[in-house]
Chain A
């Protein structure tokens, strides 16, 4: 069965604007996403994990065609989304939606909840006003904001962060999409609210048969939310595996490093666990290191690593890693 989403050799470079074009000389680019390929199967939650500058957010935007790629393609149900015309694209949008990180910025501050949630129905379909109103009330109930009538005429600033996030989720499921890109959906929320929101996402996935592309930097959340995980570093995918396999047998040194750096809430375990400390910080994506991009910070770096970039090597158990340690 073909995958729901196929990302194929996707690239996105952003031009760095400095000074007047006449004096600029050679152009410089931010290599935000640099030749990545992966699939998302229907019904799964694929985690896309990495630190700042790795390109995971840009990948999420590209997957929904909120950005145009520099090269490569994304296929949704076999069709290249970048080849669609405006009308076809609008129709496709019903099937793929997004939930954002910042519950304060993701809702139009000048609109009421009712206006925000009616919009999907106005843009698509020919429902009457009364039918739209009914749908909106039902959406709010579905995301746990009951009784809905209390909330529909309020503005976003009257809600807490967790409640705003629920409204954003309601907006995303309004048109019954197949795919939802969740871009750090709980990172800005308090711990107890985080748990509530993740439960909601899981519940909706079961009820609606959703597929998630779950973008985050937090490996604690990934463990309980995702089926498969892709680790990104400086625009590249460096490892991809089923979730339990990744945590039991991390293959890429970077994966090991971020696993090691994730705080463990149990104080005894935290202080007795051996950590591999990573020095330095992520280099600039404008001039990424040659060869394997992780080599300047890698304790296992060899001459090969500087010369040529490793491809994703199959190490069995549906697990791939881009590292010469495994060739």
Chain B
């Protein structure tokens, strides 16, 4: 929907229009899709890598653990946002690239968490009992340990989504996101020049990012409370 540019929020355009006359409200809705898709897919990538690395490291220990942890630490040391900038600048800024870049830089946090969980869970008596029954390593990891680590992983995952949305927002803000996809970050970046004259161009995307990230953090907290106390029920 294109209207007159710089219209303030009103009846026809709920959140007003931007410098090119585009409806801000539609932009928010379309941007939501991108932010959420990128957020979830990036978090999924990060969790997939993190669980694999952390799980193997925590379960097998020894040299495998040493090696994988050194790699993890290497990635941890890299300043995430700067590397994201560089990678996107080098490899292009399509949506898939952005997802990949965020995912590949966020997994170390998950890996360390999963490693700690696995190290603790594999010594627990129910895991030892399964081993005594003749369960293979694969069975122990997938059938016994992973389900018990999943509350932590899920909570961590929801926080990763929030974090990914912020990184994506930041990249788009700096103009490094996919220029073909409307994104809240892109809208924010665009709005910089007009903050004093057309405040609605910045405020609505900004509030949207804020609400989604806050909401995801609260979901994470809520999941933490809901999923974990069951383990402590009968004391």
Residues of A within 8 A of B (CB): 61, 64, 66, 86, 89-90, 93-94, 96-98, 100-102, 104-111, 119-120, 123-124, 155, 157-160, 168, 171, 175
Contact check: which of A105, A111, A120, A157 meets B234 at CB < 8 Å?
A: A157
Contact A66 B128 (CB under 8 A): yes
Residues of B within 8 A of A (CB): 124-126, 128-136, 139, 143-144, 147-148, 230-231, 233-234
Residues of A within 8 A of B130 (CB): 108, 119
Question: Given contacts A104-B234, A168-B129, A171-B129, are A109 and B134 in contact (CB under 8 A)?
Answer: no
A101, A108, A119 — most chain B CB neighbours (10 Å): A108
Bound complex: CA A102 to CA B125 (Å): 8
B130, B133, B148, B234 — most chain A CB neighbours (10 Å): B133
| Minimal beta-carbon separation of A158 from chain B (angstroms) | 8
Residues of A within 8 A of B230 (CB): 109, 155, 157
Bound complex: CA A102 to CA B230 (Å): 17
18 A–B pairs (Cβ distance < 8 Å), ordered by A: A89-B134, A93-B132, A93-B134, A97-B132, A98-B128, A100-B125, A104-B234, A106-B125, A106-B129, A109-B148, A110-B147, A119-B133, A119-B143, A120-B133, A123-B139, A124-B134, A157-B234, A168-B129
Q: Is the interface of A mostly helix, strand, loop or mixed?
A: loop
Residues of B within 8 A of A98 (CB): 128-129, 132
Residues of B within 8 A of A102 (CB): 125
Residues of A within 8 A of B139 (CB): 123
Bound complex: CA A103 to CA B8 (Å): 66
Contact A64 B126 (CB under 8 A): no
Residues of B within 8 A of A96 (CB): 132
Contact check: which of B124, B133, B135, B143 meets A97 at CB < 8 Å?
A: B133
Contact B131 A66 (CB under 8 A): yes
Bound complex: CA A120 to CA B131 (Å): 10
Residues of B within 8 A of A106 (CB): 125-126, 129
Bound complex: CA A106 to CA B133 (Å): 13
| Minimal beta-carbon separation of A133 from chain B (angstroms) | 18
Bound complex: CA A196 to CA B148 (Å): 31
Contact B134 A90 (CB under 8 A): yes
6 new A-B contacts, CB < 8 A, other than A101-B125, A109-B148, A119-B135, are: A97-B133, A98-B129, A105-B125, A111-B147, A158-B234, A171-B129
Bound complex: CA A217 to CA B78 (Å): 52
Contact B132 A66 (CB under 8 A): yes
Residues of B within 8 A of A160 (CB): 234
Residues of A within 8 A of B125 (CB): 100-102, 105-106
Residues of A within 8 A of B143 (CB): 119
